[in-house]
Structure 1
Amino acid sequence: MELNFNITENPSYLQVYEFEKYDHEGVRLWLKKNWSFIVYTSVVYVSLIKIGQKWMAERKPYELKKQLVVWNGFLTILSFAVFIRMLPELIVECAREGFYSSLCHFENHNVATSFWGVLFCFSKVLDFGDTLFLVLAKKPVIFLHWYHHVTVAVYCLYVADSSDPSSRWFAVMNSFVHTIMYAYYGLKAMNLKISRKISMLITSVQISQMIFGMYINFLTYFTKVKGVACDRPYWNIEVALMMYASYFMLFAHFFYRVYVSRSQQQKLKRI
């Protein structure tokens, strides 16, 4: 299913910079033809985790504090840029057309939002770099970590050519969470003492993101079932729903294991 929509380069609600005016149709067609590169990249990524862990088995962990500060600082800035450039379109869409329209239609789509949306998708490949630091530091790479990276990257680049209206919500939510998350990691790399409550809050926000993501997919699915027009193909909704549901379960389990179960164990030790 291909969507028909207009992308304006001069929206009344947002100043568009010259570097944001790109050949969106050309990029869309390229992604439609070449999206599978992310599948091969993901296979290599997962393979390198195992290879890297074996290579590091007999070696001392690397000290990468400075590199981590730079890396997380860069991703914080990038995530914040995506968030602040994509958010205005959502606000205007909701204000002018309503929340439902923001999920199902592109009534006020502009080239800047489209540009940062594409950049957001490609940035999911950059997120693979997080794992390199874990492997070189000989820290565990849990299933949630690499599964989340791989599935988000594959989904983003697969659906990018169809320009799913709800993807704006997914990108804005994710970039907001990543801004906070990478800022936190950067500060931790600087050896700043941060309350455990902050990390709990970040995980809670991530879980809230998954709940809202499931809500969006359920809402658009049943809207289409009722025969109301919605420019989201069923396969897209179903795949996104399965992803968000799996993330919710994994993040909720992580929260329980790290913050609830450990706290209970520590209390028992004090008795």
Structure 2
Amino acid sequence: MAAAIQWLDRLIEDNADPRTADWPLMQSPIPGTAMVIIYLIVVWIGPKMMKDRAPYSLKQVLLVFNLFMVILSFYTCWEFIMGGWMTGYTLGCQLVDYSTSPKAMRMASVCWVFYVSKFIEMLDTVFFILRKKNNQISFLHVFHHALMPFTWWIGVKFVPGGFGTFHALLNSFIHFMMYIYYFLAALGPAFQKFLWWKKYMTTMQLTQFALCMIHSGQLLFIDCPYPKFFAIVIWSYGLIFFVMFMDFYRKTYKKKSALRSGEQNGLDKSKDQ
């Protein structure tokens, strides 16, 4: 066991990006792992603790949090764009710039901010628990929040930039739109008329995962020194979440559409009778 730990430490030390080595949460995967474990414990215990309690409203808290997340998501999206994706990056074999140039450091920095944002997003689940919206705490929801910190610690530790940040750019944009939706929803019933595009949010998420798979999959067929391991991780992530979100889309929207159709047919039949 000790030998395996030493081997892993050497592997990390030999391949890690020295620029991010001393940044908060980057010295070791233990702090991030501990936060994920705490998150999973809260998910397990939280609903039990709230069982006999009245749900909290949290309207003002949600407004502030969602607005903050809109700003944070816009920031990461913009920084991914200006750090490379609209300033010289290509959609093909885009290597990581490990220099300390302002542009390279800008990309590495936004990768770290994106990683930290995955822990902040865990508060979504906490708010669901406190509001007793337990139907929102699906396996898909928890799996997504628990997985992302692990994959992105690895990303920031070894490849903070280049090819692998394309999916982070897409994800930042999707979260920017998603938290705008959440912010409007938190304003109350008067703003329901502005939320007609909820269905299209899931479509956008499915498109995101499809683009991630297409983009990352190409690395298996071209000659590129970017680590293929990370491309495989991104492709696998895209596939898993595409399947899970497609199942959510089918159950949520197709079933509702069928129910509405059935109710309409029932009304039409009653008229004939």
Scaled by the length of structure 1, the TM-score of the pair is: 0.82
Q: Could you say what secondary structure the match of 2:55 adopts? A: coil
- How is 1:19-58 mapped onto 2 (pairs within 5 angstroms)? 24-27=19-22, 31=26, 33-58=27-52
Quick one: distance in 1 between partners of 2:205 and 2:229? 24
Describe the superposition over 1:23-53 as per-residue Cα deviations: whole angstroms up to 9, x where unpaired.
934436972x412322222122111111110
1: CA distance, partners of 2:184 / 2:205 = 19
Query: Structure 1 35/200 Cα, relative in aligned 2: closer, same or farther at 3 Å?
Result: same
Matched length: 243
Q: CA deviation at 1:132?
A: 0.7
The alpha-carbon distance between structure 1 residues 194 and 246, as it changes in their structure 2 partners (threshold 3 A), is farther
Q: Does 1:202 align with 2:196?
A: no
Q: Percent identity?
A: 22
**2:146 match:** 150
Q: How does 1:129-148 map to 2 (within 5 A)?
A: 129-139=123-133, 140=135, 141-148=137-144
1:131 counterpart letter in structure 2 = T
Query: Does residue 1:106 correspond to 2:97, yes or no?
Result: yes
User: For residues 114-133 of structure 1, what are the alpha-carbon distances to aligned partners after superposition, in whole Å with 9 as ceiling and x for unaligned?
Assistant: 21111111110111100011
Kindly provide the CA deviation profile for residues 65-101 of structure 1, in whole angstroms up to 9, marking residues without a partner as x: 111111100011001011112202112224xxx4213
> Does the aligned pair in 2 maintain the 1:188–1:194 contact within 8 Å?
no
Change (3 A) 1:154 1:146: same
- Largest Rg, 1 or 2: 2
Q: Deviations over 1:146-168 (max 9, x none)?
A: 11111112111122111152232
Tell me what 2:165 maps to. 168
**CA-atom RMSD in angstroms:** 2.2
More relative contact order, 1 or 2 (CA 8 Å, 6+ apart): 1
Q: Which residue number in structure 2 is paired with residue 263 of structure 1?
A: 257
Secondary structure at 1:99 match in 2 = coil
